[in-house]
Structure 1
Amino acid sequence: MSFFNSFNINMPLQGVPFPGYMPLPLLQAAVNEAQNNVKAPMPLIFSGALAAIAVASQGLVDVCKPTGQRVPTSLMLLSIANSGERKSTAENVFIGPIRTFQKEQNIIYQNALSEWVARHHVWETKKKAILKSISKMTSSGVLSEEEEQRLFDHENHRPAKPKKFKLLYDDSTSEALFSGLNKSLPTAGLISSEGGGVLSGRALNDLSKQNAIWSGDSITVDRASAESYEINGARLTVSIMAQESAFKDYMDRRGEVSRGSGLWARFLVCNPRSTQGTRFIENGTMSWEYRDKFSARLVEILQKNIALLENPDREKQVIYFSSEASGIWLEIFNAIESEIRQDGYFSGAGDHASKLADNIARVAALFHFFEGSEGDISISTLNSAVDVCHWYSDEFIKLFMPQPVEQVDAFELNNWLQNYRVGKGRYIRKNHIRQYGLNKLRGDDRLSRALDALRLQGVISFMKIGKTVYVDLMPSLPPDGYAQLVIMQPNKSLL
């Protein structure tokens, strides 16, 4: 099995469809239903669902890669879409149940907090009484050993302040996020469907700490005005949906630093095509049957997270790959590694490639756990993770390693010319391409650059009859009678 057998890596990918089918009954049905109802781009819908699964599951399960390394199942996701693409709606379909669960837990927390305040007042009153007694005895020259022991015993029975079930963070500072991971739940989701606030704020300021948490490493938070602390075993999933302008502004300000730190290499990114103009209402009744089943499974997992409040060091379930799936994962790892070479697909994107197989393992484990599968990760589940991460990887390359304009133009032009090859024949006038071809190539200079790029690839060649330039769409074939009328010049630009 080759990771790259589904496309020509020498051509830029434009509009490659998101994986249409995955043998994941619960997730697939819920995503399809949501896309049918919301009609936002499918990748936005899927990223929202994947983020919800990761947030709910990461505190409970880790995955053991076939190399033997155990890693978190936390994810980082970035979805870029402009206003009107229904980012908030797409996200809320699946993150909404987590917010509802968190609100319900907050009511329980507020009741417990009120009870704790009362108990703490009583405890403080008793402590003051003991201290007053010790003070009197000391002033009178009477030994106060018994009262002092009472004080020690009293301190040991200080009422414990309840911990808040804080799982989701939005427009948060990194300080607040790390404090929550330390004092409340050791697992969290930094989630925003209007990611401009996150990108322009301070949540992503501590890049080294963000990277360390993603890897499952411990971090130390040093504070000048308060006691420093260490966070061990915390889990953090990040999901940002942002407009193109907000992302561009962030990259202009901090892009070089964040890319250099390896932050974006960890992200599953997408910039999907708009669905605006195609979101027609087919009937007035919308069913949310599968979303409700998805939510029920999510709540079942969230209930298990409550135990982390009292026992943050609780041992996590480790998910393993089956022997067959392990072999395939290793092949994929090696295929990715081979493409980091200088002329490989990931040349210049080694940071992303080095994290890709890790992300595949995490996504596969999340699929396996959320679907309630028995045993180890199967080949079919791994293949689903491969298809999804493969698609996200192509999006990363398009976003962070854009092709030169003439290469993209050449690719799209060649697709247009292919229809002519099949339907009308071998030769076509350059002016015909300019007049009836792609709108963006109506200008002579841009069209000439795209045609020259195709000529250098050997896809076409040129010939001239008088002052008219013709394009030979099948230069590998011997010249026919028509071509004999002119001098063929396959290695020279006539444009």
Structure 2
Amino acid sequence: MANVVELKERAVAPAEKAAAEAPWPEMMPLFAHHERPLEYPLHLLPRIMRDAVTDVCAYGQQPGALVACSALATASLATQALADVARTPSLVGPIGLNLLMVAESGERKTTADRRMARAIRQWQQLRRANQRAEHEQQKDRRAIWTAKRDGLLAAIKKAVGAAKREERDKTEELEAALQGMGPMPVVDPLPVLFMEDTNPEALSIDLANGWPSSSLWSDEGGLVVGGHGMSEEAITRYLSLLNRLWDGNPFTRRRSTRESVELRGRRFTASLMMQAQVVSKLLAAGDGVSRENGFLARFLIAWPRSTMGTRLYRPGSTETPALAVWDERLTQLLEMPLPVDPEADLPMVLKPPVLPLSQAAFERWRSFFDDVECELGIRGELGDLTDFGAKAGDHAARIAAVLHVLVHGPAGEIGPELMEAGVEIAAWHLHEARRLFGMIGRDGVATDAEALLSWAMEEPEAPSMKRILQFGPSRVRAKERRDAAIAKLTEHGLARVVKEARAERLMVNPEWRGVP
């Protein structure tokens, strides 16, 4: 009796068997090199950050790059007020970082974000509680001072306009009392390190009158992109203000009908997490102003590959020794005295010490700067990303400085190891920015094809068209999407449809499987 294999072979018509055994075309990757995600250089992070990121990932199983970016944003917020960085003696600037992380709903981005920044939020809450009583007393003293001043000014005005001489003579006495009041009592601001739904006017006032080191921080970036600051009439002012804060330059707004403000000596971090569709809205807002005015180029972009579908339950905790060390170090940094300029005519104007680069660190930074610059021409790899490339050197120096202050504090010079980390991380984010602009807004056929190929590789035999619709990846269970994905795989020589008896099956290229 013929065995099953023989019967199966007889059932295959000669033409069908020939199609199955036909030569395969040369395989092409579904994604171009610049569209493929690279491994995040986690090994270059200082141990205190690397261990904390590893423990959060071990428990939550989020993409490592997502957690690492949350850690970097947290470190930026904790260190930015304590030091500036000098790439060269004439190129000195803040170390604050802007990060934009793209992740879909369900990626556990909020869990990662909250855990990495927990110590800062706890410090803020405790500091505000401890200062609140004194803060209220200071406000009362200022209110009393203001009331007295207003009363004296009103009395002087009345006396000047009085008809009787004896009342006019009181002006000198009133003026002396006014001069003797002294300066307005100071009200020390309560720390506010996290802002989310704001607009340019509110943000500038809060920063001028409040804590000098703060952030625009949201694990749901749609609240920012869809907020008041991004309205049609406000978006250009809002993004320009955020640009000014990243640069560390002064900002003055004079208004006759609103409160005038002057920002000087402020440090700012931005940490935004959002879905890809929200990024599309940000790119389209204000006729593309977010790209045109350099706003997005000031961000370190990340779009990590999702881990959803692989996160099988495992016991664990985010209360580990490594995370306790991380929390303690962040608290120590926040407890350091702020380097305030004692001669400034505005309250709490930061004047941080400047961290220079060691000679070896500078040589590594210069090499990276020159390499990127050479790719910015029209024929270069970054010819379509000149805005991001032009700021890559600045990003690398800032990252290295943040890591230096995290580990060593705001003193000394930045060494070559941390500059190497700064360069590699900046280069990784530059690649991610290129991926983002290459992939955002696409119809997703290549992604569908990639998912189908991975699934077919795990099947014990070539799956039928019917089986793909029933049990394949959910994204290709509609006939139209399935067929488009198969056409993409066929075009790239990675798989093709063959007929076997009465069924059509998806055969993966044996070379792709690694089969001789």
Q: Does the pair score TM above 0.5? A: yes
Q: How far off is 1:31 after superposition?
A: 1.2
1: CA distance between counterparts of 2:317 and 2:98? 35
Aligned residue number for residue 284 of structure 2: 252
Question: Which of the residues 243, 246, 262 maps onto 2:294?
Answer: 262
Answering whether residue 371 of structure 2 is matched by residue 349 of structure 1, we say no
Map 1:21-420; keep pairs closer than 5 Å: 21-22=43-44, 24-66=46-88, 68-120=90-142, 123=145, 141=166, 143-144=169-170, 147-156=173-182, 158-203=184-229, 205=235, 206-254=238-286, 256-284=288-316, 287-304=319-336, 308=340, 312-372=348-408, 375-402=412-439
Task: Give the Å deviation of 1:389.
Answer: 1.6
Describe the SS at the equivalent of 1:64.
strand
* Correspondence 1:15 to 2:37: yes
CA distance in 1, matches of 2:44, 2:80: 22
1:62–1:73: 8 Å Cα contact kept in structure 2? yes
- For residues 158 and 290 of structure 1, the distance between their equivalents in structure 2, rounded to whole angstroms, comes to 47
Could you say which residue in structure 1 is the equivalent of 2:463?
none
Give CA-to-partner distance per residue, 1:276-299, whole Å, 9 cap, x none.
Answer: 222234335554222221122112
1: CA distance, partners of 2:150 / 2:173: 12
Once residues 261 and 13 of structure 1 are traced to their aligned partners in structure 2, the CA distance between those partners, rounded to angstroms, is: 25
* Cα pair 2:195 2:215 within 8 Å, conserved: yes
1:103-130 deviations in Å (ceiling 9; x for gaps): 2232244312331344356546766887
- Superimposed CA distance per residue, residues 251-306 of structure 1 (whole angstroms, 9 cap, x where no aligned partner): 23346221111111111111111222222343355542222211221122212365
CA contact (8 A) 2:59 2:317 kept: no
Measured in 2, the distance between the counterparts of 1:393 and 1:29 equals: 24
Partner of 2:6: none
* Distance (whole Å) between structure 2 residues aligned to residue 57 and residue 71 of structure 1: 14
Deviates most, 85-94 or 10-19: 10-19
The 1-side partners of 2:216 and 2:258 are apart by 24
Map of 1:484 onto structure 2:
none
Q: 1:154 to 1:161 in 2, by over 3 A?
A: farther
SS of 2:122's partner is helix
- Per-residue deviation, 1:330: 0.7
Instruction: Look up the SS of the partner of 1:12 in the other structure.
Output: helix
Contact 1:167 1:188 in 2 (8 A): yes
When residues 291 and 254 of structure 1 are mapped into structure 2, their CA distance, relative to the original with a 3 A threshold, is farther
Q: TM-score, normalised by structure 1?
A: 0.76
Q: How far is the alpha carbon of 1:412 from its aligned partner?
A: 7.7
27-36 or 365-374: which moved more? 365-374
The TM-score normalised by the length of structure 2 is 0.73
- 201-210 vs 128-137, which deviates more? 128-137
Report Cα offsets for 1:331-371 as digits up to 9, x if no partner. Answer: 11110011112222101111110011110010001011111
- Is 1:54–1:74's contact at 8 Å kept on the other side of the alignment? yes
Contact 1:220 1:231 in 2 (8 A): yes
Q: Aligned-pair distance for 1:81? A: 0.9
Query: Offset at 1:153?
Result: 4.0
Change (3 A) 1:128 1:74: closer
CA distance in 1: counterparts of 2:61 and 2:209, whole angstroms: 40
Q: Which range moves more in the overlay, 147-156 or 167-176?
A: 147-156
Q: Whole-Å Cα distance in 2 between the matches of residues 67 and 160 of structure 1?
A: 36
Distance in 2 between the 1:37 and 1:345 partners? 38
- Kindly state the Cα deviation for residue 13 of structure 1 after the two structures are TM-superposed: 4.3
Counterpart-to-counterpart distance in 2, 1:253 and 1:133: 53
Secondary structure, counterpart of 2:492 in structure 1:
helix
Does 2:475 match 1:450? no
Q: Note if contact 1:165-1:309 (Cα within 8 Å) is conserved in structure 2.
A: no
| Secondary structure of the corresponding residue to residue 78 of structure 1 | strand
Q: After TM superposition, give the deviation of residue 77 of structure 1 in Å.
A: 0.6
Secondary structure of the 2:33 match is: coil
- C-alpha separation in 2, matches of 1:299 and 1:182: 24
Q: 1:209-258 CA deviation, whole Å, 9 max, x = no partner? A: 22222122222224352243332232221110012222223323346221
Q: Structure 1 vs Structure 2: percent identity of aligned residues?
A: 26
Structure-2 separation of matches of 1:358 and 1:159: 40
Which residue pairs with 1:432 in the alignment? Answer: none
Look up the SS of the partner of 1:238 in the other structure.
strand
Q: What residue is the counterpart of 2:467 in the other structure?
A: none
Could you tell me how far apart the structure 1 residues matched to 2:244 and 2:202 are? Answer: 17
**8 Å Cα contact 1:64-1:318 kept in structure 2:** yes
Distance in 1, matches of 2:293 and 2:368, equals 25
Residues in 1 aligned to 2:371 and 2:196: alpha-carbon distance in whole angstroms:
37
How many Å separate the matches in 2 of 1:89 and 1:35? 10
In 2 relative to 1, CA 129–174 (structure 1 residues): closer, same or farther, beyond 3 Å? closer
Root-mean-square deviation (CA, aligned residues, Å) is: 3.9
Instruction: Give the CA deviation at 1:446.
Output: 3.1
For residue 401 of structure 1, give the secondary structure of its aligned residue in structure 2: helix
CA separation of 1:265 and 1:120: change in aligned 2, threshold 3 A: closer
SS at structure 1 position matched to 2:166: coil
- Structure 1: gaps (5+ residues): 1-8, 420-437, 453-471, 475-495
Which amino acid letter does the alignment assign opposite residue 197 of structure 2?
A: D
Choose 77-86 or 62-71, whichever is displaced more: 62-71
**CA gap 1:303/1:382 in 2 versus in 1, 3 angstroms:** same
Q: Secondary structure at the match of 1:32?
A: helix
1:85-107 Cα shifts (integer Å, max 9, x gaps):
11111111122222222222322
For residues 305 and 249 of structure 1, the distance between their equivalents in structure 2, rounded to whole angstroms, comes to 40
> Which runs of 5 or more structure 2 residues have no equivalent in the other structure?
1-30, 458-472, 495-508, 512-516
**Aligned with 1:342: secondary structure?**
coil
**For residues 193 and 255 of structure 1, do their structure 2 counterparts lie closer, same or farther at Cα, with a shift above 3 Å needed?**
farther
